[in-house]
């Protein structure tokens, strides 16, 4: 399955994701039942990734011109964490660990992506890419979800052609890493950290950048990222999923370079900050340039 997943991504833009996995009790009762039902059918992580990829490709070629997910089903990713660090005090958990859930929320995310696309193109081109009738139809799906769920808590952020530097500030070199390989190639690397540690690191970065570099775009990105993290259950986990770009950059020292760059700025060490940025740029600018390659 992993091999077919990688071959299925050949020729597609590199896509990376930042995900939040929450305990079951963080969701409303109806959604809890849906998550348990979907997760029982989900199979392996590779099967979920492949199903999501195949579904997205199917929507592009669907007749009728509607590229949006219908919402009839929703995929869910799961992870199991040791109970020692994350279990609530006094709460007995299975020795195998505690399950956390990340719903795909494809309907909500597709709507957000479409809005971002519409904001970036001229109106006639926007109407050609996604007709108004299809956008209106999808808005009705979003409205139905908003009526029964807390849609503010979108569990996944996605980025194409590279990973935002602000995401790396949430992670450290010591965090758990899962390297997924097949036929001598890296399919993806996933880095994990508890939400509490990600928030602490984000707030540290925001505080230092606010003093040392208040005009830096990364400060705005980190502020929004911190506000997003604060929406989730305290016992959640944060996952950075590199996707296929991992084969181009791993082993990757970006979390360390981002941290060192921020620390150097805070200390007034412009030489050290510039050196950290050069290392990041040499790693990621060639990836971003692929977006404009013919």
Mean pLDDT of 55-68: 61
Listed in sequence order, the residues at least 6 apart from 262 whose beta carbon sits closer than 8 Å to its beta carbon are: 169, 205, 208, 209, 212
| Partners of 240 in beta bridges | 18, 191
pLDDT at 219 over 80: yes
| Partners of 177 in beta bridges | 191
- The CA distance from 148 to 16, in Å, is 29
Taking a C-beta distance cutoff of 8 angstroms, is the pair 154, 112 a contact?
Answer: yes
For residue 88, the 8-state DSSP code is P
For residue 64, the 8-state DSSP code is T
106-119 and 132-146 helices cross at what angle (nearest 10)?
140
Mean pLDDT of 74-103: 71
Listed in sequence order, the residues at least 6 apart from 110 whose beta carbon sits closer than 8 Å to its beta carbon are: 67, 68, 69, 138
Helix (H, G, I), strand (E, B) or coil at 281: helix
| Partners of 264 in beta bridges | none
Range of weakest confidence among 6-15, 94-103, 160-169, 177-186: 6-15
Range of weakest confidence among 89-98, 215-224, 249-258: 89-98
Q: What pLDDT score does 235 carry?
A: 96
Q: What pLDDT score does 1 carry?
A: 41
Q: Read off the pLDDT of residues 29-53 as tens digits, 9 standing for 90 and up.
A: 988 998 998 888 877 898 888 878 7
Q: What pLDDT score does 90 carry?
A: 38
Token code pair at residue 213: 């570099």
Q: What pLDDT score does 8 carry?
A: 40
Taking a C-beta distance cutoff of 8 angstroms, is the pair 176, 191 a contact?
Answer: yes
254-266 and 195-212 helices cross at what angle (nearest 10)?
40
Closest CA relative to residue 47, chosen from 59, 55, 35: 55
- CA-based diameter of the chain, in Å? 59
pLDDT at 5 over 50: no
pLDDT at 4 over 70: no
Range of weakest confidence among 3-12, 127-136, 144-153, 222-231: 3-12
Name the more confident of 204 and 106.
204
Q: Read off the pLDDT of residues 235-288 as tens digits, 9 standing for 90 and up.
A: 999 999 999 999 999 999 999 999 999 999 999 999 999 999 999 999 999 999
* Mean pLDDT computed over every residue of the chain: 82
Q: Read off the pLDDT of residues 155-194 as tens digits, 9 standing for 90 and up.
A: 999 998 999 999 999 999 999 999 999 999 999 999 999 9
Model confidence band, residue 3 (pLDDT cutoffs 50, 70, 90): very low
Closest CA relative to residue 280, chosen from 267, 266, 263, 261: 261
Model confidence band, residue 87 (pLDDT cutoffs 50, 70, 90): very low
Mean pLDDT of 105-119: 63
Name the more confident of 114 and 216.
216
Token code pair at residue 181: 């390989």
Please state, as a whole number, how many other Cβ atoms lie within 10 Å of the Cβ of residue 165. 21
Rg of the chain on CA atoms, in Å: 20
- The CA distance from 163 to 205, in Å, is 17
Please state, as a whole number, how many other Cβ atoms lie within 10 Å of the Cβ of residue 277. 17
pLDDT at 214 over 90: yes
Q: What pLDDT score does 172 carry?
A: 97
- The CA distance from 21 to 155, in Å, is 7
Mean pLDDT of 9-18: 80
- The CA distance from 280 to 284, in Å, is 6
């Amino acid at each position: 399955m992993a091999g077919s997943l990688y071959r299925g991504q050949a020729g597609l833009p590199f896509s990376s994701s930042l995900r939040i996995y929450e305990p079951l009790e963080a969701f409303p009762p109806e959604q809890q039942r849906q998550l348990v039902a979907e997760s029982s059918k989900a199979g392996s992580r590779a099967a979920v990734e492949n199903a999501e990829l195949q579904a997205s490709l199917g929507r592009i070629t669907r007749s009728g011109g509607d590229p949006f997910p219908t919402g009839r089903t929703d995929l869910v990713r799961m992870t199991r964490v040791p109970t020692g660090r994350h279990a609530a005090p006094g709460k007995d958990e299975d020795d195998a660990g505690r399950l956390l859930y990340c719903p795909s929320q494809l309907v909500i995310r597709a709507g957000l992506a479409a809005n971002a696309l519409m904001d970036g193109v001229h109106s006639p081109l926007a109407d050609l890419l996604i007709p108004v009738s299809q956008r209106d139809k999808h808005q009705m799906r979003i409205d139905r979800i908003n009526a029964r769920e807390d849609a503010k808590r979108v569990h996944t952020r996605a980025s194409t052609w590279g990973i935002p530097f602000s995401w790396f500030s949430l992670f450290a070199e010591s965090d758990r890493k899962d390297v997924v390989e097949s036929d001598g190639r890296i399919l993806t690397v996933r880095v994990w950290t508890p939400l509490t540690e990600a928030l602490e690191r984000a707030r540290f970065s925001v505080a230092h950048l606010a003093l040392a570099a208040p005009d830096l775009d990364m400060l705005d990105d980190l502020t929004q990222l911190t506000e997003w993290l604060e929406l989730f259950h305290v016992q959640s986990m944060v996952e950075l999923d590199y996707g296929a770009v991992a084969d181009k950059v791993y082993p990757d020292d970006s979390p360390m370079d981002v941290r060192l760059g921020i620390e150097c700025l805070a200390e007034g060490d412009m030489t050290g900050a510039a050196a950290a940025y050069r290392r990041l740029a040499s790693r990621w600018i060639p990836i971003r340039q692929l977006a404009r390659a013919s």
